[in-house]
Amino acid sequence: MGHEETVYEALDHAHGGEGHWAFGTGFDEPLAGVDTTVPDGVDPADLGTYCLMLGDDALVLAQRLTQWVTAAPELEEEVAVANVALDLLGQARLLLARAGSVGVLGRSRERATESIPDEDALAYFRDPDEFRNTALVEAENGDFGQTMARLLVASTVRLAVFSRLRESRDPVLAAIAAKGVNELAYHRDHAARWVLRLGDGTGESHRRVQAGVDAVGPLLADVLTATDVEQRLVAGGVAVDPADVREEVRSVLTQVLDQATLRVPEWPADTPPRGRVGQHGPELTTLLATLQGLARQHPAATW
Amino acid sequence: MTAVVSLYRDIGSSGPRAVAETVTDPELPALTLADLGVLRDVRVVDGTVVVDITPTYSGCPAMGVMRADLLHALHSAGFDDVEVRTVLSPAWSTDWISDEGRRKLSAAGIAPPGTAPVRLSGPVPLQLGPSRRTAACPLCGSPDTEELSEFGATACKALRRCRSCREPFEHVKEI
């Protein structure tokens, strides 16, 4: 448009021309102008907690995927993995902002300075026990085959949940889900094509992606059992019961693995939710240390 | 009583809609936000110019710049009271890119999208084969092109290569 020479100058101008803008300025509140009224009969605390569950899944998986940047097997794949992570990060921002909009902030506000928007406070200033992501997304990447196996499983589950969530009684959640469905279909199909290529590839690629599938399969146990919060929201027409997506997930995974000449791992027995209630392995602590380190050391940083 | 004036049809070069329509996309500067279908509405509510924009992808990092550019353009044109609102629903579709936008994409060497897939309620079917998308080469016009990667330099684009002139090019993927 010609008023500023660069994107940087445009952003700088929007923030008083002080020569810096960064994390904490709140210039890009993702729900700016969106009506965030909570529908009648919905408990804001439950709604916010559910948004943390879905948002944390996306945030943590995005962080795992970006660990492949500069290490992916080919340049195009590096771009692909970064793009998938960016979509998930966008979903995370919307969902964490939605949680903040209904006042679900946990202990993050005790640490985050006032100028930091809710979504950043939630991402950077919660401890692991306040994260609501499942074990499926926090597990280490493993090799590229295992990473794609996990992306296949995680995006299949998320796509199945989001496609139902389009009917949520919370219009903000429904809108976030409707947008996410288009993105998640790309992610799932991309991962599925890699699993196909590796499974039906060489003996070595087959062996390694089978090991990846076998490592990821048991993590489904932490995904498909509803917490009390989810059960109450399901009854209110706001959330999706994860048990309802079980058959769809099983059918999609079987279809991909069969065609990839891979063995379908034994379906894990249901276990009580762990990640969704804040119980995590040490790998989440390590991941969050990287994700949150800069923000915590320089809580009002601008650059 | 709230006065709402929709400016969809205001003409001339000085109305707020006309000003907002001059703002270009930060990542596709050949196109305006209006060409892309990102600019959804401009109206005046009780003296405030209210601008609705919608993100292309959830993670589109350009939303903050778009908002800043719109505010700056409208402020510069003398509209002091401006509010830029995000609209999430309905989700953006490449079908909203105007004919003019498609022409500008081609002229910039970027293949415009075809018709977006219809996503009805219910499960989204798996697509395990190579993408069935096609795109003519924006450089030589040949329809004989192949996809290199479904993901490109920005979230909205895929990478393709022309088998005739051998040039790689970007393609705005249907969503």
- The mean pLDDT value of chain A amounts to 90
Give B30-53 as a DSSP string: TSBHHHHT-EEEEEEETTEEEEEE
Query: Looking at the predicted structure, is the pLDDT value of residue A303 above 60?
Result: no
Contact B50, B83 (CB under 8 A): yes
- For strand B82-86 and strand B39-45, is the pairing parallel, antiparallel, or unpaired? unpaired
Q: What is the pLDDT of residues A78-90, one digit of tens each?
A: 999 999 999 999 9
Q: What is the pLDDT of residue A26?
A: 45
Number of domain units in chain B: 2
Q: What is the pLDDT of residue A14?
A: 55
Nearest-CA distance from A10 to chain B in Å?
A: 6
Q: Which residue of A has its CA nearest to B119?
A: A182
For the ranges A162-171, B18-27, B115-124, B138-147, the lowest mean pLDDT is seen at B115-124
Question: How is chain A split into domains, by residue range?
Answer: 41-265+275-294
State the distance between the two ends of chain A, measured CA to CA, in whole angstroms.
Answer: 25
Q: Could you tell me if B65 and B104 lie in one domain?
A: no
Q: Could you tell me if B36 and B74 lie in one domain?
A: yes
Residues A6-40 as b/e (b if ≥16 CB within 10 A, e otherwise) read ebeebbbbbbeeeeebebbbebbbbbbbbeeebee
B52 assigned to some structural domain: yes
Q: Could you tell me if B20 and B55 lie in one domain?
A: yes
B124 assigned to some structural domain: no
B84 touches chain A (CB under 8 A): yes
For the ranges A42-46, A69-73, B24-28, B123-127, the lowest mean pLDDT is seen at B123-127
> Residues 131..160 of A with a Cβ closer than 8 Å to B: which?
159-160
Query: Looking at the predicted structure, is the pLDDT value of residue B9 above 50?
Result: no
Best of A4, A13, A28 to disrupt the B interface (most B CBs within 10 Å) is A28
B106 assigned to some structural domain: yes
Q: Could you tell me if B60 and B108 lie in one domain?
A: no
Interatomic CA distance for residues A193 and A199, integer angstroms: 10
Q: What is the pLDDT of residues B154-171, one digit of tens each?
A: 888 999 999 999 999 999
| CATH node for A41-265+275-294 | 1.20.1260.10
Question: At B134, is the pLDDT very low, low, confident or very high (cuts 50, 70, 90)?
Answer: confident
* Residues above pLDDT 90, as percent of chain B: 62
Strands across the sheet containing B145-149: B110-111, B168-172, B157-162, B145-149
Q: Cβ B68–A11 below 8 Å, yes or no?
A: yes
Q: Could you tell me if B107 and B147 lie in one domain?
A: yes
Question: At B11, is the pLDDT very low, low, confident or very high (cuts 50, 70, 90)?
Answer: very low
CATH at B27:
3.30.300.130
Closest by CA position to B155, among listed A228, A89, A44:
A89
Q: What is the mean pLDDT of residues B55-77?
A: 90
B126 assigned to some structural domain: no
Q: What is the dihedral of CA B66, B69, B70, B71, to 10 degrees?
A: 120
Q: Could you tell me if B81 and B99 lie in one domain?
A: no
Q: Could you tell me if B76 and B140 lie in one domain?
A: no
Of B23, B64, B123, the CB nearest to A28: B64
A182 touches chain B (CB under 8 A): yes
Q: Could you tell me if B76 and B102 lie in one domain?
A: no
B77 assigned to some structural domain: yes
Query: Looking at the predicted structure, is the pLDDT value of residue B152 above 90?
Result: no
Q: Which chain A residues contact residue B122 at CB under 8 A?
A: 163
B128 assigned to some structural domain: no
Interatomic CA distance for residues B9 and B27, integer angstroms: 27
B129 assigned to some structural domain: no
Give A207-246 as a DSSP string: HHHHHHHHHHGGGGGGTSS--HHHHHHHHTTSS--GGGGH
B122 assigned to some structural domain: no
Return the structure tokens found at B16: 């707020």
Cα three-residue angle B76-B79-B83, rounded to 5 degrees = 105
Q: What's the domain range around B51? A: 4-86
